[in-house]
Each structure stands twice: as structure tokens, then as C-alpha cells.
Amino acid sequence: MELKQMRYFLALAEELNFGRAAARLHMAQPPLTRNIRALEEELGTPLFIRTAKGAELTAAGHALLDEVPHVLALSRRAEEQTQLAGKGYRGRLDVGIFSSGILNVIPRLLATFHTERPDVKIGLHNMSKAEQIAALRERRITIGFNRLVPNEHDIGVDWVQREAFLVALYEGHPLCKKKVVTMRDLDDERMILYPNAPVHGLAQEVTAAFRAEGVKLRVEQEVDDVVTCIALVANGFGLCITTESAMNLRLPGVVYRPLKSSRLQQIELSCLYRRNDTSPILLAFLKLIRSSRSKQVRAKPLS
């Protein structure tokens, strides 16, 4: 039994007149009659009794009428859901995140995407940079967010946001009196570095900047994430170089100052994804990211 035959049957069952049913279906009456006859032959039982006024349902016709509307409704729903999935309005977006990246633009992007596409389920996975790259290749995540992402032949990378570097100080430190902290000001200060990871990241960038500018780096502690780092700063354990998004932690006892450095000026937050991934959901999310990025550029004041 074809869906077309079900639609023809339903029209005739509701109109009980071949002429009116044909007009409703925008077709001639003979093809409708042939299709109804073919359906009866396929089922092996009459569905209609032909009368002078049109047609009446048989017991078998009544039984089929009880089921056909549900089948057609399911068919329409399947068609609609398939079309929505094809346009990226249904499905799942698995996102790799990291500690400081979740403090600013990423939640806003995810919230906007969820508002626009509420039937897309969003899964968040806290992962290191290396873990995100591995998860992309294994198709465990759709997109990741990180900084200082290495070049990989199968991984696409695009920038999301550019942030300035800051110095996080504990209240009462002499450098709190300065409006801007220079690299020279940090000579031999107790510093906390993050993240403590084998791949190149912020800790390595800070170390290289101290070396390039001829400043002594005194590492007091190396930690895994920005939250631990800023918490240590708040308790007077040392100072750290961080990014603007860390200010959103708002931990008491921490003072932030802009950093003046020839090497550490801005850092990019990037998104990373499989180059060959043509998922409608991914493409829609990338479009949102690029739109958000364009707004940032337009909003940036001219220097």
C-alpha cells in the first residue's frame, strides 16, 4: 500500500463521491477510480460500495479509515523531521570546551544557538587541547574551542575572539598602584603558570615572552586551569599573566591590570572542527560564530 493510495482513499472516504474527491485531489476522476480499484485488489477486499449518489464505505473500508489518518500523520512528521535535520534544526552538537574559554563568548554562542535551534541537543565536554583533537578525529565531538591550536592537516581552525593579556595581582601588592604593568615589573616576581600541559599553550607563551624580553621568570607554581590559578592569586600565592575573560571569575582579593609587552599583546580563542565535516548543524554553528566575529570587528573602535 503506497502513501499516494492512502491519500486517495482518505479523500474518497471523507467525500464519499468520486467527483468531489478527484476535485479535492486536483486530478481527473478516472485515475482516482483506477487507484482505488488497484488498492482494493491489493488488499483483496472491497473498500467502497458504488451507489447512484457516489460511494459508501464497507466494513473493511471503515477499518482502513481508522488507521490511514495516523499513518499519513506519521509520514508527514517523518518528512518534516527529516527536513529539519537536513537543515540543521534537529540533531546533536557535541562541544569540546576548556576552563577559561567558558568564561566569556562560548556560553553566549551556545545560548544563541539553542534559542535559534531548540531541538538541537548540546553536549559539553571539558577537554584539553590534545583531547579535543583526538575527540574530533574519533567523532566524539563536533567542534572544540581552544587557544594556540597547532596546524593539523585534517582539522580546520577559525578564530572566535581576540583578547588582551592582563596581569592578575593580589590586593596589597605594590604593582596594584600602577595603571599598566610591564614585563620588566614582573622581573623575579612569584608567578603562577597555567595550563600545566605538554602541548604548547599559554604557559609556554608566557615563558617565551619572559625569555625574549630578558626578564627573569620565577615560577612559584604550575596549575592545570585558570580557576585554580586565580584562586591562588587571590590568596597571595603569587601573580599570573592571564586573559581578559578571567576577569569574569570576579574572585575577591584579585586586582587586574593591563599588561604591556612586545610579545604578549593579544591571544585568539579558536574553534576547531573536522575539515571534511559537512554536517548542517556544524555549518550553522560556524555561521553563527562568524557572524558574532563580524559584530566584534565592527564594534571595535578605530585607533
Backbone angles phi, psi at 252, to 5 degrees: -65, 145
Mean of pLDDT values over 225-251: 94
Candidate CATH numbers 1.10.10.10, 3.40.50.300, 1.10.600.10, 3.10.20.30; the one for domain 3-86: 1.10.10.10
> Looking at the predicted structure, is the pLDDT value of residue 294 above 70?
no
- Tell me the C-alpha distance between 214 and 187, whole Å: 9
Pairing relationship of beta strands 48-50 and 55-57 according to DSSP bridges = antiparallel
Position 103 scores a pLDDT of 80
* Helix/strand/coil percentages in the chain, nearest 5: 45, 25, 30
Position 87 scores a pLDDT of 85
* Highest mean pLDDT of the ranges 33-37, 70-74, 193-197: 33-37
Residues 6+ apart with CB under 8 A from 50: none
Length of the chain, please? 303
Position 297 scores a pLDDT of 53
> Looking at the predicted structure, is the pLDDT value of residue 300 above 70?
no
- Tell me the C-alpha distance between 243 and 240, whole Å: 10
Give the start-to-end residue ranges of the domains of the chain: 3-86, 92-303
Mean of pLDDT values over 258-265: 95
Choice between 81 and 171, residue whose per-residue pLDDT is larger: 171
For the chain, percent of residues with pLDDT exceeding 70: 97
Position 303 scores a pLDDT of 40
- Tell me the C-alpha distance between 131 and 99, whole Å: 14
- Enter the C-alpha cell of residue 277: 565535516
Q: Which amino acid is at 109?
A: L
Q: Where are the beta strands (DSSP E) in the chain?
A: 48-50, 55-57, 91-97, 120-126, 143-147, 155-170, 181-182, 190-193, 218-222, 240-243, 254-260, 266-274
CATH class of 92-303: alpha beta
> Looking at the predicted structure, is the pLDDT value of residue 16 above 90?
yes
What does pTM read for this prediction? 0.71
Q: What is the mean pLDDT of the chain?
A: 92
Choice between 154 and 195, residue whose per-residue pLDDT is larger: 154
Beta bridge partners of 147: 269
Write the pLDDT tens digit of every residue in 38-90: 999 999 999 999 998 889 999 999 999 999 999 898 888 888 878 878 888 99
> Looking at the predicted structure, is the pLDDT value of residue 212 above 90?
yes
